[in-house]
Structure 1
Amino acid sequence: MKKALLILLLPAMLGGCLAKAAVDVVTLPVRAVGAGVDAVTTSQSEADEKRGRELRKQEEREGREARKREKEARKAAERGEPYPY
């Protein structure tokens, strides 16, 4: 009796699991394409962040160069030489 009851209830219990698996299989290609598009495209905020990083790096580079020029000018002034700008 218990085996018969278990056999009758088993398909009902597995039905939801099978339906979920079927939905996952059907939506997998859509999710894969969506992930590929997200990986290839750049959002506006990502582009803004990248541009901000580039600007900061450029400003740091210019600051280093300016400090180097100032240091060279001070050394030239200490030696009494004109600094070639």
Structure 2
Amino acid sequence: MRILPVLFLAPALSACSVASTAVDVVTLPVKVVSSGVDAVTTSQSEADEKRGRAIRKEEERLGRERRALEDRCRKGRARPEDICPQ
């Protein structure tokens, strides 16, 4: 007698998994297209972050060059194109 309720629940459980699989199959193309569009496009915040990184990198490079120039001027090894403060 205890097996009888289990037999009635078995089709209901498999129907849920079939419905879940059907939903997954239907939504898969939408997910693929949206992730493809997201990979190709750049949001404004991503563009701002990229520009900020580029600016910081350029400022670091200029700082290194300025320190190297000051070092050359201080040690008396200035190049002809260097403009050393007197």
Q: The TM-score by the shorter chain falls in which range?
A: 0.7 to 0.9
Structure 1 residue aligned with 2:40: 40
Cα distance between partner residues in 2 of 1:6 and 1:75: 91
Alignment of 1:1-85 (within 5 A): 6-76=6-76, 84-85=82-83
Indicate how the Cα distance of structure 1 residues 10 and 84 shifts in structure 2: closer, same or farther if over 3 A, else same: closer
Q: Provide the secondary structure at the position in 2 that maps to 1:39.
A: helix
Residue 16 and residue 84 in structure 1: after superposition, are their counterparts in 2 closer, same or farther (change >3 A)? closer
More helix by share: 1
**Residues 49/84 of structure 1: CA separation in 2 closer, same or farther (3 Å cut):** closer
Task: State the TM-score, normalized to the length of structure 1.
Answer: 0.80
Q: CA RMSD in A?
A: 2.2
Q: Provide the TM-score with structure 2 as the length reference.
A: 0.79
Distance, in Å, in 1 between the alignment partners of 2:29 and 2:62 is 48
Return 5+ residue gaps in structure 1 as ranges: none
Task: State the distance in 1 between where 2:82 and 2:43 align.
Answer: 46
Identity of aligned residues (%): 57
**May I ask how many residue pairs the two structures share in their alignment?**
81
> Matches of 2:48 and 2:16 in 1, distance apart?
45
Rounded to whole Å, the distance in 2 between the matches of 1:73 and 1:8 is 91
